[in-house]
């Protein structure tokens, strides 16, 4: 089997962007005492791209309603981590995604980061375009790093959670699924997982598609995905993995919308920093995190 040569970095949102940025978010992040300069999520991205001399990073703000603000924040953060070429790829239409200028920039970059915002907007603008097709080809054949936070992470998989009421997530029909980028198969990603109480959303998504695994990413938390199958947890909180392959019963096909779902034998793994999970073998491996390594 030919595994992708590139890396995916899926982030749950509100990642540590360093001193002086997003002060309110930093108050929560700093409680966990993971150093932005040593163990932070953006540092993990930089370690991947710095395998190449003078890496070029493109920040794609298509999902966001505040593109210039987000680009400015990420540019500032990556420069603090030693990267110098951080460009803004502000694609707002399918025509721009198909343009020669966009294609040339995607061909030359070593890392592309999709910011947060609205994943439906992101996929409706980029889905099926020359830019996305090139990116998928490079992911298979080059050592490119493709990162996404919040909406940018949710859109990575072939099936994407596009909406849903967390408070009513155990009721059939309250979780909306749609088509994502297809960089990652048989995985459904949900973000801001802990803060917004989204376990029910992911459980219903996996009940509907038990062949997939659910990946719940907390804020300032994510996974590095190598070879399209090996997940390594990074960041300051937890990654929740929900497996449906052993589901013994679900009523989701038999009940009407608005009725409570019933699911038996879901498997749940909780990953902390550096723990790994193999998508193919469904093997979870814990790595003891030593305080002095912070």
Residue 152 backbone phi and psi in degrees, to 5: -65, -30
pLDDT tens digits, residue range 232-244?
Answer: 999 999 999 999 9
Residue 209, C-beta contacts closer than 8 angstroms, at least 6 positions apart? 159, 177, 188, 244
pLDDT of residue 195: 92
Identify the pLDDT of residue 51: 82
**What pLDDT is stored for residue 22 in this prediction?**
55
Q: Which residues pair with 190 in a beta bridge?
A: 216
How far is it, in rounded angstroms, from Cα 39 to Cα 279? 24
Please list the ranges in the chain whose pLDDT falls under 70: 22-34, 289-294
Handedness of CA 42, 43, 49, 52 (dihedral sign): positive
7-274 fold: Rossmann fold (3.40.50)
114 token code pair: 């999709």
d(CA 141, CA 205): 31
Contact indicator for 186, 279 with CB cutoff of 8 Å: yes
């Amino acid at each position: 089997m030919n595994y992708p040569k590139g890396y995916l970095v899926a982030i749950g949102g509100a990642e540590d962007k360093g001193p002086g940025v997003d002060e309110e978010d930093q108050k929560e992040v700093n409680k966990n005492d993971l150093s932005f300069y040593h163990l932070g999520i953006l540092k993990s991205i930089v370690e991947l791209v710095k395998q190449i001399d003078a890496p070029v990073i493109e920040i794609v703000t298509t999902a966001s309603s505040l593109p210039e603000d987000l680009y400015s924040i990420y540019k500032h953060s990556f420069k603090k981590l030693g990267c110098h070429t951080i460009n803004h790829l502000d694609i707002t239409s399918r025509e721009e995604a198909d343009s020669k200028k966009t294609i040339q920039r995607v061909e030359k970059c070593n890392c592309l980061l999709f910011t947060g915002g609205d994943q439906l907007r992101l996929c409706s603008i980029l889905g099926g375009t020359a830019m996305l097709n090139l990116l998928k080809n490079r992911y298979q054949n080059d050592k490119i790093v493709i990162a996404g936070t919040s909406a940018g992470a949710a859109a990575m998989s072939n099936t994407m959670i596009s909406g849903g009421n967390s408070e009513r997530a155990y009721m059939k029909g309250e979780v909306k699924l749609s088509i994502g980028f297809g960089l990652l198969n048989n995985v459904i990603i949900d973000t801001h997982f802990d803060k917004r109480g989204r376990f029910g959303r992911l459980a219903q998504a996996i009940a509907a598609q038990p062949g997939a695994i659910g990946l719940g990413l907390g804020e300032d938390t994510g996974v590095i995905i190598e070879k399209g199958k090996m997940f390594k947890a990074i960041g300051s909180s937890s990654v929740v993995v929900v497996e449906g392959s052993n589901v013994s019963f679900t009523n989701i096909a038999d009940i009407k919308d608005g009725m409570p779902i019933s699911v038996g034998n879901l498997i749940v793994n909780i990953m902390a920093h550096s723990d790994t999970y193999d998508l193919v073998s469904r093997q979870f491996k814990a790595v003891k995190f030593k305080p002095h390594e912070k």
